[in-house]
Amino acid sequence: MAETPKYDIAIIGSGPGGYVAAIRAGQLGLKTLVVEKDDAFGGTCLHVGCIPTKDLLLNAEVYDYFKNAKEFGIVCKEFSIDWAAVQARKTKVVTRLAKGVEFLFKKNKVESMQGYGRLAGPGRITVTDAKGQKREIQAPKIVLATGSEAKTFPGFEPDGKTILTNKEILALKAVPKSMVIMGAGAVGVEFASIFHRFGTKVTVLEMLPRAVPLEDEEISAELEKSFRRQGIGLETQAKVEKASKTANGLAVSFTRPDGKAQTIEAETLLVAVGRSPNSHDVGLEKTRVKLERGFVKVDPYMQTDEPGVYAIGDLVAGSPLLAHVASREGIIAVTHAAGKPTEPINYTQVPNCTYCEPEISSVGLTERQAREAGHKVRVGKFPFAANSKATILGAREGFVKIVSDETYGEILGVHMVGPRVTEMIAEAVVAMRLEGTVEDLAYAIHPHPTLTEAVMEAAHAAHDWAIHV
Ligand SMILES: Cc1cc2nc3c(=O)[nH]c(=O)nc-3n(C[C@H](O)[C@H](O)[C@H](O)COP(=O)(O)OP(=O)(O)OC[C@H]3O[C@@H](n4cnc5c(N)ncnc54)[C@H](O)[C@@H]3O)c2cc1C
């Protein structure tokens, strides 16, 4: 009988949580195994999430430049979308990055196994391959990094043609003429921005009173204003009830709080209403692992209640569903498993980025949260319309808003909507981590002309000292 392979640590799932955890475990000298059920490493983020969506957003931006070429003095008479080439570039980017993960595994002596992993008892997992063959693995430390799937519900099951989730929409054979998007969270508004710019008539239906409901209220209002200006349909407080097939696609019915019903016809419907954790079939039944609405409960070092079993990423209860959070949690889990000192995450300092048009980024408390927490709030706001680089870019929408505490100038939250703000939020994260004040941000000299000057000016604005407004 073949011997049971033994590892110091086994990681189930190779998304940005699992693969980063594996690389760090290798760096720490642990004999490491990654188990992945799919053909390639990288998880949701690399294959059907962060990376392909941002690649498509770039295509859409380039297409927009062509549409507006005249403004830049460039005559461009004929141009069109070659959808097959758009998809081919996306595949090339994804494949290159997936190969990068493979290379990093080799470099750090991480072993991998293709198959479906399940906990099989203390320090043991089973891996079932595509042919149904089972192998048992021993590892005293196990990290569950199985991520999440798009939430779907009866009557809205994805069929790959008309009803789509983030997976099927990325494999469309052509740009649809019209699309209803259910949900105005990050995924919904990103796809709205992509397909609107490719020429699809997009309508977003959101059940809550505002788009991007987790963001500061002023950010939601600015995005909604911009969507309406761009011609993206947006209905808030709209509860989708039914999607019926028609000759050309679907009739999507929704109701308003006053009970009034409305129907929109569209070729496609994207269901973007949240994620479900992949915790149902990983062998948790006979363990002490505790769940909260299907998400795994962990302590600050990512330990579950089952000795030796950690959980990270989208699977974790209360953790924001973000790739960079999954990665950090992975590093914490394996460092702790290796018996080395590590620092738990301060979840109030996690940046959020939404790559819609205009982009959104934020960290820390919204103005409302800061007031509700009892802070003496001082707000500094600066519009991109008054920033020289934004004017050069022809992208003058949006603003930077800094929420601080009046007493010592402590930065409580930074919220941005506008051009390339997802590249700008890290400054605020570092400032908050170093316990910087709004004055620190104001006195730090920012290079000219850059969009980052808007952060400095917003900090000045907290004291009514902004120069350019
Ligand atoms: C459309 C979209 C866009 C997004 N854009 C961004 C973004 O721009 N920035 C950002 O930070 N986040 C973004 N996210 C969220 C991000 O993708 C997730 O937060 C991240 O992928 C979570 O990482 P993870 O490692 O926990 O899980 P996942 O990435 O979901 O990886 C889990 C892996 O585990 C494997 N697996 C599952 N069960 C088993 C099993 N039993 N055995 C073996 N393997 C298994 C899966 O095949 C998968 O490879 C986006 C998500 C979506 C859907």
In the structure, what pLDDT confidence band is assigned to residue 3 with cuts at 50, 70 and 90?
confident
Minimum CA distance residue for ligand 1 atom 15: 322
Q: Coil, strand, or helix at residue 410?
A: strand
Looking at ligand 1, which atom is closest to the CA of residue 17? 25
Residue type, 362: S
What is the pLDDT, as a whole number, of residue 288?
Answer: 98
Q: What is the mean pLDDT of residues 325-341?
A: 98
Instruction: Tell me: pLDDT of 444 over 80.
Output: yes
> How wide is the angle at C-alpha 276 spanned by C-alphas 224 and 119, nearest 5°?
155
Each residue's pLDDT tens digit, 120-169: 999 999 999 999 999 999 999 999 999 999 999 899 999 989 999 999 99
Q: What is the mean pLDDT of residues 206-211?
A: 97
Minimum CA distance residue for ligand 1 atom 9: 50
The overall average pLDDT reported for the chain is 97
Each residue's pLDDT tens digit, 244-279: 999 999 999 999 888 899 999 999 999 999 999 999
> How far is it, in rounded angstroms, from Cα 57 to Cα 60?
5
| Residue from 282, 276, 264, 323 nearest 149 by CA | 276
What is the pLDDT, as a whole number, of residue 153?
Answer: 86
Each residue's pLDDT tens digit, 13-35: 999 999 999 999 999 999 999 99
Q: How far is the CA of 56 from the centre of ligand 1 (A)?
A: 18
- Spell out which residues line ligand 1, taking CB within 6 angstroms: 12-18, 35-38, 43-45, 49-50, 53, 116-117, 145-148, 166, 187, 278, 282, 313-315, 321-324, 326, 355
Matching residue, tokens 């690399």: 46
Instruction: Tell me: pLDDT of 1 over 80.
Output: no
Query: Which listed residue (448, 460, 463, 468) is catalytic?
Result: 448
> How far is it, in rounded angstroms, from Cα 10 to Cα 93?
28
pTM for this one? 0.97
Looking at ligand 1, which atom is closest to the CA of residue 313? 26
> How far is it, in rounded angstroms, from Cα 8 to Cα 25?
9
Looking at ligand 1, which atom is closest to the CA of residue 275? 53
> How far is it, in rounded angstroms, from Cα 90 to Cα 450?
29
Each residue's pLDDT tens digit, 38-78: 999 999 999 999 999 999 999 999 999 999 999 999 999 89
What is the pLDDT, as a whole number, of residue 2?
Answer: 67
Q: Is 448 a catalytic residue?
A: yes
